[in-house]
Amino acid sequence: TIPSNVSFVQPQFFYINGFSNIPHVKYYYTFLCFVFTVTVLGNSFIMLIIYVEQSLHTPKYVAVFHLAVVDMCGSTALIPKMIETFLFDSQFITYEGCLANMFFVHLFTFMQSLTLLALAYDRFVAICFPLKYHIIITTAGMGKILAGIWILAAGVVIAAVGFTSKLSFCKSIVIDSYFCDHGPIYRMSCNDNFPNYVIAKIGTTILLAAPLTLILSSYVCIIVALLKIASEEERIKAMKTCTSHLILVAMFYLPISAIYIAANITTIHPNTRIISTSLSSTIPPMMNPIIYTIKTALIKRNGECVFKLSSSNYRKHEQVVTI
């Protein structure tokens, strides 16, 4: 504990507490070693496939490639440090190292959320406005969208880290999390942390809640569009173009949403919060390339999926949509 009579304290180190009173917890971190290995190999593989295969040089697979990059970088920012911290009993982290860890982990978490939104936008246009898809969604346009979400996410996280650097820690340096998590850190400060509270709410709302809301809204529109397709076979084919994305959305958002809702209803044990958030941060990046590799194999084997929209406006038209 740091003396409370010091007006402003910027500690030399923080102590990452992690799980408490869980027997054989080191097996969990050993499991994370496996997760990290599969994540790096899988995402490298999907990036290679997209780069080499000319037929995948489309706006959708630009976003998939970007998701693979984000997943690999996010896992690299989080898992090796977790393994070093808890498997090798190195729970002290320098002040500067902690801020860097905070920046990169939160940045790539938000980037995954926003990239899933970009993929949802691609599917929304492909199914709801099929005849205009190649006009609305272009490779250059997708690149601009991805550049924009980098600027948005980085701006919010830089603000959070900047406000954290202004905090004084005169009570404790023990972080009740598995990394340098912004929330637990700013709450243990002993000076005004209201700017951190505001930026945390802004980040959660704009970079997590808003993308989820927009993704769900896009699928409501997609379902409405699919109901207008006369042929059940073509309806199923169109929906299959969304299955990979839906699985990724569920894996990423369900644990985060569940823990956030539970935290606002009742008191959650720190171990429960840590296991839920750590799995939601590590499992989706491992599963994403596996899911998209399966779909990519289907593309290479079956080519393109052609489905017909039979609404009043599109009854006589066909639109080619890449799976």
Please give the average per-residue pLDDT across 140-151, as a whole number.
Answer: 97
pLDDT of residue 313: 39
Higher local confidence (pLDDT), 220 or 5: 220
Q: Beta strand 13-16 with 92-94: parallel, antiparallel or unpaired?
A: antiparallel
In CATH terms, the superfamily for domain 13-312 is Rhodopsin 7-helix transmembrane proteins (1.20.1070.10)
Q: 176 to each of 14, 18, 22, 173, 272, how far by Cα in Å?
A: 11, 6, 15, 10, 12
Q: How confident is the model at residue 309 (pLDDT cuts 50, 70, 90)?
A: very low
Residue 215 CA to residue 124 CA, distance in Å, equals 9
> What b/e readout covers 21-35, taking b as 16+ CB neighbours within 10 angstroms?
eeeebeebbeebeeb
Q: Does residue 209 have a pLDDT over 80?
A: yes
Residue 149 in this model has a pLDDT that exceeds 90: yes
3-state secondary structure 131-166: HHHHHHCCHHHHHHHHHHHHHHHHHHHHHHHHHHCC
Q: Give the global pTM.
A: 0.88
* pLDDT confidence of residue 262: 82
**113: its two tokens:** 């959320």
The arithmetic mean of pLDDT across residues 285-314, rounded, is 57
pLDDT tens-place string over residues 47-80: 998 899 888 899 999 999 999 999 999 999 999 9
Measure the CA–CA gap between 46 and 77, rounded to whole angstroms: 20
pLDDT score of 299: 46
If you average pLDDT over residues 208-223, what whole number do you get? 96
